[in-house]
Amino acid sequence: MKENQRQLEYMQKVAEHNKGRRLKYCSVVFGCQMNEKDSEKLSGMLEAMGYIRTESEAEADLIIYNTCTVRENADKRLYGRLGVAKQYKKDNPDLLICLCGCMMQEEHVVEKIKTSYPHVDLIFGTHNIFKFAELLFTVLETNDRVIDIWEKTDEIVEELPARRKYPFKSGVNIMFGCDNFCTYCIVPYVRGRERSRKREDIIKEIRSLASDGVVEIMLLGQNVNSYGKGLDDSVSFAKLLDEAAAVEGIKRVRFMTSHPKDLSEELIDVIRDNPVIARHIHLPLQSGSDRILKLMNRHYTKDDYLRLADSIRTKIPDISITTDIITGFPTEEEKDVEDTIDVIERVRFDGAFTFEYSKRTGTKAAVMDGQLEKETVQRYFDRVLKKVQDISKEQAKRFEGRIMEVLIEGINEKDPLMLTGRISQNNVVHFKNTGLSTGSFAKVRLDECRGFYYNGTVVS
């Protein structure tokens, strides 16, 4: 029997066990788009088991936390939430608390939960989320805590149910794991080796999403540019992107994340020539210093990055380039920060996430000499943050007055008379609600730039 069939049977068994009771689940997700996507699958499975969604942990019969461990504060947030959940369990002893995701792939975390958080009922990891129904069934049948963590997997289980957060847009996994081992990063340890999904499975999923009303997709992977490694029928990421954009009904395609070392001229050309592909590249820089980049194991230099950004801006002038930057990597000095700032000024990033370096147990950087004092890390951080904010505000000004295609994402949270949407470059636009529906496109004039978003007017 195929694995997805087996799991569908377990979903049925859980439903039978619950005897038609209208039990509620609450899904809490930390971390990146990969986790968001995984949680949509978990929610889909729970609904196939008869659970009904609630946004409130306090009124749930089952809470599932999908965890992230990329930086230390992600870990702290989970422990805080688990402390509160203990009280919910006191109020409702039948409450089931489930934990999964990247943090659970770390042995010391699971040990800590076992001893300090005995109210947790189920723990599994990133490699076996497809087994959720089976594991939950065991918990229900045995009334015992179940822990099942796999060190790795070669398996990709297709065609499990999913509950999408948005009806009009969706992430699509194209690959799992990462083989890059940037020295600061825990992801390769908790997500395992790189595995690409078959191209026909990806296209099939996109077709099915399109027929379900999805107009925007985001192709997801830790390093999408190395898509296809190890597949029999291997295509480049650029070709896959073109093919995804050709699926009928799909109006916009995004992707995340590109590694500068693997981003090809072919890809830049494909984006330039295909208007369905969003005018946005997220291209993590991490540092502008050659010395630090080498210590980070990033496989490119400051000049390589500048050349790449220049080629992108020359070929596609309207594109928005965003980035990630880490400050306070071991041994970083003022002059390294100067190099990072130099790149920010020359590339003129349209947006950037800036992170303080966080030491992750098990990574190479964690045992490097030259770990910095918190104050130094913060000082670098403040400088870099100020620079990226100033520049990205100036960059956003360049679209002021332009008429742009906006995908309407919903009614404005603060003002129900307004709608909110995104332009191809990913910036947010607010404009008056003239009765247009969520998930449709509108031509909007970007009247005024307010730093990171625009106020606009619908012109057609």
Q: Which residues bind ligand SAH (CB under 6 A)?
A: 70-71, 184-185, 187, 222-223, 257, 259, 284, 286, 324, 326, 355, 357-358, 360
Using CB under 6 A as the binding rule, whether residue 149 contacts ligand F3S is answered as no
Residue 115, preceding bond cis, omega within 30 degrees? no
x/- map, 260-279, ligand F3S, by CB under 6 A: --------------------
**Only segment of 24-32, 179-187, 327-335, 401-409 that touches ligand SF4 (CB under 6 A):** 179-187
For the CB of residue 64, give the shortest distance to ligand SAH in the complex, in Å.
22
2's CB contacts (< 8 A; 6+ apart) are none
Using CB under 6 A as the binding rule, whether residue 78 contacts ligand F3S is answered as no
Q: Which of 27, 39, 43, 69 binds ligand F3S (CB under 6 A)?
A: 69
**Only segment of 151-159, 187-195, 407-415, 431-439 that touches ligand F3S (CB under 6 A):** 187-195
Radius of gyration, alpha carbons of the chain: 23
Burial class (CB in 10 A: 0-12, 13-18, 19+), 158: middle
Nearer to ligand SF4, 287 or 424 (CB): 287
Q: Which of 27, 66, 223, 320 binds ligand SF4 (CB under 6 A)?
A: 223
Q: Which of 28, 32, 58, 231 binds ligand F3S (CB under 6 A)?
A: 32
Using CB under 6 A as the binding rule, whether residue 34 contacts ligand F3S is answered as yes
Using CB under 6 A as the binding rule, whether residue 188 contacts ligand SF4 is answered as yes
Using CB under 6 A as the binding rule, whether residue 353 contacts ligand SF4 is answered as no
Structure tokens at 247: 């699926």
Using CB under 6 A as the binding rule, whether residue 122 contacts ligand F3S is answered as no
Pick from ligand F3S, ligand SAH, ligand SF4, none: which does 357 bind, CB < 5 to 8 A by kind? ligand SAH
Q: Which of 27, 35, 289, 425 binds ligand F3S (CB under 6 A)?
A: 35
Pick from ligand F3S, ligand SAH, ligand SF4, none: which does 358 bind, CB < 5 to 8 A by kind? ligand SAH
Q: Is the dihedral of CA 334, 340, 343, 348 positive or negative?
A: negative
Number of residues this chain uses to bind ligand SF4 (CB under 6 A): 10
116 with 138: CB under 8 angstroms?
no
**Only segment of 184-192, 246-254, 392-400, 448-456 that touches ligand SF4 (CB under 6 A):** 184-192
For the CB of residue 187, give the shortest distance to ligand SF4 in the complex, in Å.
4
Type of residue at 300: Y
Nearer to ligand SAH, 326 or 404 (CB): 326
Nearer to ligand SF4, 37 or 131 (CB): 37
Pick from ligand SF4, ligand F3S, ligand SAH, none: which does 424 bind, CB < 5 to 8 A by kind? none
Q: Which of 10, 23, 31, 214 binds ligand F3S (CB under 6 A)?
A: 31
- Report the site for ligand SF4 in 259-288 (rule: CB under 6 A): 259
Binding interface with ligand SF4 (CB under 6 A): 178, 180-182, 185, 187-188, 222-223, 259
